[in-house]
Amino acid sequence: MRSCDNDMDQDRKRVIESMPLFDAHPALLVMADGTAYRGWSFGAPGTTIGEVVFNTGMTGYQEVLTDPSYCGQIVLFTYPELGNTGVNLEDEESERPQVRGAIARNICTRPSNWRSTQSLPDYLKQHQIPGIYGIDTRALTRKIRQFGAMNGGISTEILDPVELLALVQVAPSMAGLNLVRQVTTQKIYEWSEPTTTVWEFNPEAKPAEGETLTVVALDFGVKRNILRRLASYGCRVIVVPAHTPPEEILKYNPDGIFLSNGPGDPAAVTEGIETTKALLQSQKPVFGICMGHQILGLSLGADTYKLKFGHRGLNQPAGLQTKVEITSQNHSFAIDPHSLPDADVEITHLNLNDRTVAGLRHKSLPLFSVQYHPEASPGPHDADYLFQQFVQTMRQARLATADVN
């Protein structure tokens, strides 16, 4: 058992002394390799276990906490202070926080923002999400970068590192884990809310006069902003559970199929892969984002693999040849480029940091996908054109069908 207690005592004291104390109860973080970090609790008391991953974004912590793709994970925020803008109703990507826990350097307990309705600690406490602050988040991030993402545990109840480590070591690995069943909708519903006019950034995002395109969205853990972008372009969006049979999906006579983001190992989402394979036979336009990109690749015969520590941040460069987009990303797995059927599929984007596959397009069918999040628009709006591209593909398919009939 290794401990950072001695190295961190003075540093941790300086952090706490600079902050207003609130329920400053001791908390313990233990990683699967035995490293222990002592800090203070924010959010709910208790014990939580999950895969510890880091996010490098300087903003958007509420979107991160409520993104279903983080189900099963404890998020380490590299930005040194969390909670400055509080939380609000508009920035939730789902109905509640989806993370197992949160790790921060500093916590702000008195937020300052005109939209804020609650402090971050109170919000996490309300939803029973534990957090720990006052630790050296830079050192922990460097550990994950060097050794890879690993399971960890946060506790305010178990302050013995050996005892908490025993719980961490029996927790399942993210590889092979199907977490979609925990986050997918349990009922079919329609989404009609577009991006609000206050936040709309693209004058091209508007429905064509007299046109309604029906999109069925397979919910592997969909973010609300994705649905808003589809609605902003005039789509009638029908959201269905991930296990919905293909024949039921096709009863809606959709103009297009959307494959959403989601948590866990995409290869373990066998029902989603089989459904997508069946839907491809209909030759309907298909657009996938993040896990949806991986599910589409798997349904076309490719393989996926787990990245060492994944991509989670707001400034990941993605592109090919002469065009580069600054993108928001959040994923642990990637498509193996050597497993792609070269005769049918081409790579449209690479992550320019590590050359992993960030976009695909079928050469003859109206299918395309990206590994990143074009709806997130973390300052740059480089990738919003993909929704417009999906709409245009559906229009072309509708015209082609009308010509045949």
Positions marked active-site: 290, 373, 375
Q: Which residues contact 93 (CB under 8 A, 6 or more apart)?
A: 63, 66, 67, 68, 223, 224, 225
On whether 202 is known to bind a ligand per the annotation, the reply is: no
Tell me which amino acid residue 95 is.
E
CB 81 within 8 A of CB 105: yes
* Token pair listed for 41: 């609790």
On whether 134 is known to bind a ligand per the annotation, the reply is: no
- Measured in whole angstroms, the distance separating CA 365 from the mean position of its chain's CA atoms is 27
CA distances from 382 to 250, 323, 327, 373, 386 (A): 32, 10, 7, 11, 9
What 3-state class would DSSP assign to 235?
strand
Rounded CA Rg of the chain: 22
On whether 294 is known to bind a ligand per the annotation, the reply is: yes
On whether 313 is known to bind a ligand per the annotation, the reply is: no
What 3-state class would DSSP assign to 16?
helix
On whether 291 is known to bind a ligand per the annotation, the reply is: yes
What 3-state class would DSSP assign to 313?
strand
Closest by CA position to 238, among listed 280, 272, 188, 288: 188
Q: What are phi and psi of 5, to 5 degrees?
A: -55, -55
Binding-site annotation, residues: 69, 262, 264, 291, 294, 330, 333
Binding-site annotation, residues for L-glutamine: 69, 262, 264, 291, 294, 330, 333
